[in-house]
Every structure is written in C-alpha cells, then in structure tokens.
Amino acid sequence: MQVTCPNCGARYAVDPLAIGPTGRTVQCARCSHRWYERPAPLAAVAPPPPRPVPDFVIRPPTYNSGLPALATPPPKTQWGQWLSIAGLAVVVLVIAAYAFRGEILAVLPSEWRDALHIDTLRSLFRQ
C-alpha cells in the first residue's frame, strides 16, 4: 500500500502487513512528522495472483537417496516344462525302438543279446 506524509507529501510504498489490521503510528523519513496510519481498505489490498503450480515430476531414485530400491526377482526355473519335454523324449525313443526292433536286433552283438536277456523276454511275449 502507499503511505503519504500529510506534512510534506512524501510517498512511501509500505507492506500492508507492517501497518497491521488496526493501524499504527508511522514517521516520515524526510520531515520526521509522525501520524497514525489506518489500514488500507480491503478492496485496495489486492490478493496476490495465484502462482502456477508446476507439474508433478517423478525422478528415478539415485544412490543413497533414502528410497528403497526395486529388486528384480530371480527367474523361476520351469521344472514342469523340462520334465514334460524329457518325458516326451522318452516316449518317442520307446516308440522308435519298438518300431525298429527288427533292425536293432539284427545289428545288436550277441553278447548284448545275452546280457539284456532279449531272447528270454521275446519268448515271454510270444505266448
């Protein structure tokens, strides 16, 4: 607000908060005149324009910033998938061995035929 000395007409820009809600005694710096300055009417005291609020900024946590770090969980081993693949491979091998049993027996050495008891097993399934 603007304060004017009634004695010499000097003008001063004064913070309305310094005058207060009930007014106060002020002194002119030029002529040392003292008077009681009343507070400015409310319409004269314009509220400050609203300041624009900046957008909310998210920054990545830096080292030693006091924020918890996000830990990456270890990758899960998919045992079920590996077991199903191994089981499928065993089934394919058994089917192939049964399909090519004649060729396998023809090239199998006689010591292996005795060790595996293949002739005994064949006689059991011929019943």
CB-CB contact of 96 with 109 (8 Å): no
Name the residue nearer to Zn ion (CB basis): 8 or 105: 8
For residues 27 and 120, which CB has a smaller minimum distance to Zn ion in the complex? 27
Name the closest residue to Zn ion (Cβ).
28
The yes or no reply on residue 28 touching Zn ion (CB under 5 A) is yes
Phi, psi of 106 (to 5 degrees): -70, -35
Residue 31 interacts with Zn ion (CB under 5 A)?
A: yes
Q: How far apart are CA 117 and CA 120, in angstroms?
A: 5
Q: Which of 20, 26, 33, 114 binds Zn ion (CB under 5 A)?
A: 33
29 binds Zn ion (CB under 5 A): no
Residues 26, 95: Cα–Cα separation, whole Å: 110
